[in-house]
Each structure stands twice: as C-alpha cells, then as structure tokens.
Amino acid sequence: QSALTQPASVSGSPGQSVTISCTGTSSDVGGYDSVSWYQQHPGKAPKLIIYDVNNRPSGLSNRFSGSKSGNTASLTISGLQADDEANYYCSSYGSSSTVYVFGTGTKVTVL
Amino acid sequence: EVQLVESGGGVVRPGGSLRLSCAASGFTFHDYAMTWVRQAPGQGLEWVSSINWNGGSTAYADSVKGRFTISRDNAKNSLYLQMSSLGAEDTALYYCARELDAGHGDFDYWGQGTLVTVSP
C-alpha cells in the first residue's frame, strides 16, 4: 500500500491560515473515519494533534482542525504561529495488508 | 505522566538481528494496543507493527513481515520488537507508541526513539 499523498511544503505568514491535504484511496482515507494528524519538530518525536478526522486531544489548541471529503483529508492551522513551523504527517487505517499508512509529510514554513 | 522509553538500538551488520525494547510507565499498560513506527534518516514516518492489548493479535508492514516479531510482556509493562535478516533499508529511528483507541491508528504517546543502523 502506497503512502498517502501530501504536498511537500506549505507556507504562510503569522496569523494566517494554512491547509494541508492528504490524499489516499477508498481503501484507506475514503473508507474509514480513522485519519490522524501528527506534528513533528526537528529532532523530536511526533505529536498527535488530530484523531478520527476531526477530534483534538485534550488540551490541544483549537487552532488545529481536521476534515475529510471523499478520499482526501485536510488539516487546517489557523492563526499561524512561529512554533507551528514543523513537519506534519497524516495517517489512516487501511484495509489492505498494511494496517496503517502514513502520509508523505508536509513541511510548514512560517514566513 | 505517561512515559515510553525505547532501548536496544545500535549498529548491526547486514543479515544480523537486534531486539528493541520499550518500557512503559504512567498508565495501565495492558489496557492499550501498542505500535512500532520507524523513520529513516531525513525521511517520513513508516508504520512497522502493532499488537493488541494481550498480544493475541499482531500486524506487520509488508516490508518487515516474516523478519520482525512484535511481542509484549504486560507483567513487565514492556513492548518488544525482534528484528532479523536486517538490511540497509531497516536503518532508522524506531519509535514505540501507544494507540489511543485500538484499530484507529491514533498514537497519542511516543517515546524518543532508538536508532538502528545497519552497516557492514
């Protein structure tokens, strides 16, 4: 099963909003509401920021939101801050032999 | 405080074996499915293997199937990954992670990783 497709990079100015897409197939993203998003700063472990498409872990900023339409999931970061500069990965449950599949990753740059 | 601490990484020759461990604390270990995820240098995340709460159900990525074995010891609050027939493509930082809701792929706590380098 191939990795989910994400744009390599997105950028925005402080205070703006950016959206990252995550495209899969009907066998993963489109077939299940089990899409998660992770933030990873350089040299650090990934951090769960969205699960089950649009749920935030307790205590996480509401500037992060998720959605899904068909085979594409999206992560929106509103009110962009300097600390949001990181790599972001989506993941999904998949019905093939690869139970979970990650996205290719997107580098978010705050201008 | 939830903590996951990996160990057992190192340098191994192609064809060799290695056993990774992950010590869990701060939560009821046997209540959760656990997972190994790896990240090759400068690359993205790759799911490796998952195990359910009691070890009765396991799953593997195609890239490691038949070479890696995941297991757990709930009495010791520990997760393991036995790796054999290692190749250069297995060089990566290996993370253990807790799955918030089994079967959903929502990994809410991660360790800091243990580095495996496969080199002649």
> Which residues of B fall below an 8 Å CB-CB distance to A?
35, 37, 44-47, 50, 59, 61-62, 65, 95, 100-101, 103-108, 110-113
Q: pLDDT band for A1, please (50, 70, 90 cuts).
A: low
Partners of residue A8 in chain B, C-beta under 8 Å:
none
pLDDT tens string A23-78: 999 999 999 999 999 999 999 999 999 999 999 999 999 999 999 999 999 999 99
Binary contact (B105, A100; C-beta < 8 A):
yes
- Burial classification of residue A82, based on how many CB atoms lie within 10 Å of its CB (0-12 exposed, 13-18 middle, 19 or more buried): exposed
Binary contact (B95, A38; C-beta < 8 A):
no
Number of Cβ within a 10 Å radius of residue A87? 19
Binary contact (A48, B106; C-beta < 8 A):
yes
- Burial classification of residue A97, based on how many CB atoms lie within 10 Å of its CB (0-12 exposed, 13-18 middle, 19 or more buried): exposed
Whole-number pLDDT of residue A98:
76
pLDDT at B34 over 80: yes
* Half-sphere exposure (Cβ direction) of A57: Cα atoms closer than 13 Å: 16
Q: pLDDT band for B53, please (50, 70, 90 cuts).
A: very high
Partners of residue B62 in chain A, C-beta under 8 Å:
1, 97-98
| Entry field: residues in chain B | 120
Partners of residue A57 in chain B, C-beta under 8 Å:
100, 108
Partners of residue A2 in chain B, C-beta under 8 Å:
none
Which range among A28-32, A37-41, A102-106, B14-18 shows the weakest confidence by mean pLDDT? A28-32
Whole-number pLDDT of residue B103:
86
